[in-house]
Chains A and B, each alone.
Chain A
Amino acid sequence: MRARLQAVLATTALVLAGSALAQDSTMDEIAKYREMLADGNPAELFELKGEALWKKARGPKNASLEQCDMGLGPGKLDGAYAQLPRYFPDTRKVMDVESRLVHCMVSLQGFKEEDVTRQWFSRPGKESDIEALVTYIGAKSNGMKIDVPARHPEEARMAKVGEYIFYRRSGPQDFSCSICHGQNDKRIRLQDLGNLTTQAGAGVAMSTWPSYRVSQGAVWTMQRRLIDCMRQARWPEPKYLSDSVIALQVYLQKTASGTVMQTPGIKR
């Protein structure tokens, strides 16, 4: 009896060891897949396109975006993305890269907001200027540290609102961001879920966007990432550029501050 039990236990241990091995080799192969994709990221094509769009005189005012102030002064893009969202005195609002970009397209180029945001993300056959421009602006912060201390009272308030949204359970599934992203070592199928309440977890998440999503063949901006997270959590989807999405970004960027940007990223 005892011997049989030991045999069963030994077999169980073997099976467990086997599945742990299989798990490890799966993760190794996934890492290899990601590594092979990283060398030659199609986001670079969007970066090129974004640069051309940034410098081209367009819109009713026939102006380029080269005088657009992303927070470091007109036309100063190096490191700007890594310090967004931030408070802008001219609009008296905390703005993220996308709301600020749209502001510039409206104020400098004379576009109507509804026109420039209609295709805020691409669909097959319908390209998005915003995706390309955000990829270009993001790449200008590659290698720089995320730095969103949220010291201005308005920024601090938005960080609080973002934190509140992160933990708030809502929707038909009574779901919150924190259910998936508030603990270590969680997974959905093969994807690791970062713990966004830690600097390391938020750092991995925030430093690699904008990111080329191979499943869509498009670059996703942070607005698209967050709005789609809410859709997946079965929440009502927020409007593009809404304060709730910007607030979440302030909270996450603040948590991630100090992490070096590696953008554009590439993901499955």
Chain B
Amino acid sequence: MNMQRREALKAGGGLGLFGLLAAAGLITPSQARAEWNKSAFDAKTIEETLKALGATGAQNSTDIQITAPDIAENGAVVPVGVVSALAGVEAIALLIEKNPNPLAASFMLPAGTEASVQTRVKMGQTSDVIAVVKVGGKFIMTKKEIKVTLGGCGG
């Protein structure tokens, strides 16, 4: 944890939602005042997104699991979870390679929050889903392919 973030967290009570979020580990110091990581969410490729997250060069790791079905019946709602047994996970970002903007969501986990988040995302087509995890100041990642089908009547 860098000093800036520690100070921000300490002052958390007075910062409100935006301030606290700006203190999140995924935002680089130059963006520390940004309300929302626009450059990361606007990025169009995985490389650009990783760069905007300060996670360029994140190493593949088997210490992260993506919990999701191999096949989604509908791309409008694809359940995806990210879990890691590693201690001290500070942040998790969820990327969908073939979406127009890969970054779907990012999470900042204060100490005491488990490295286990689950949400639901839209996928335009079959794609790799990538989880980027920040732990001990370093970034690691893993990926899983999820196939998107379009079904018939749907019960």
Contact = CB atoms under 8 A, between A and B. Distances in A.
Q: Do chains A and B touch in the complex (CB under 8 A)?
A: yes
Nearest to A213: B154
Interface in A93-120: none
B154 A217 contact: no
Interface string B141-154: 00000000111111
A1 B68 CA distance: 49
B105 interface: no
Interface in A1-53: 25-26, 29-30, 32-34, 36-37
A72 interface: no
Contacts of A173: none
Nearest to B149: A190
B11 interface: no
B77 interface: yes
B152 A191 contact: yes
A211 B154 CA distance: 11
A180 B72 CA distance: 24
A91 to B, nearest CB: 31
B12 interface: no
Interface string A207-233: 010010111010000000000010010
Contacts of A63: none
Contact of B73 (A30, A193, A208, A265): A30
Nearest to A228: B153
A190 B153 contact: no
Given A33-B73, A34-B73, A215-B76, A205 B154 contact: no
B80 to A, nearest CB: 9
Nearest to A192: B155
- Chain B binding surface, main DSSP class: loop
A37 B121 CA distance: 12
Given A33-B79, A214-B76, A189 B71 contact: no
B153 A188 contact: yes
Contact of A188 (B71, B76, B151): B151
Interface string B60-90: 0000000011111110110100000000000
A37 B70 CA distance: 14
A29 B69 contact: yes
A160 interface: no
A134 to B, nearest CB: 17
A58 interface: no
Which of A37, A180, A188, A217 has the most chain B CB within a 10 Å cutoff?
A: A37
A56 interface: no
B153 A193 contact: yes
Nearest to A216: B76
Contact of A33 (B69, B76, B150, B152): B69
Contacts of A232: 153
Contacts of A33: 69, 71-73, 79
27 contacts: A25-B70, A26-B71, A29-B70, A32-B69, A33-B69, A33-B71, A33-B73, A37-B79, A187-B152, A188-B152, A189-B149, A189-B150, A189-B151, A189-B152, A190-B149, A190-B151, A191-B153, A193-B152, A193-B153, A205-B155, A208-B155, A213-B154, A214-B76, A214-B77, A215-B76, A217-B77, A268-B74
Interface of A: 25-26, 29-30, 32-34, 36-37, 180, 187-191, 193-194, 204-205, 208, 211, 213-215, 217, 229, 232, 265, 267-268
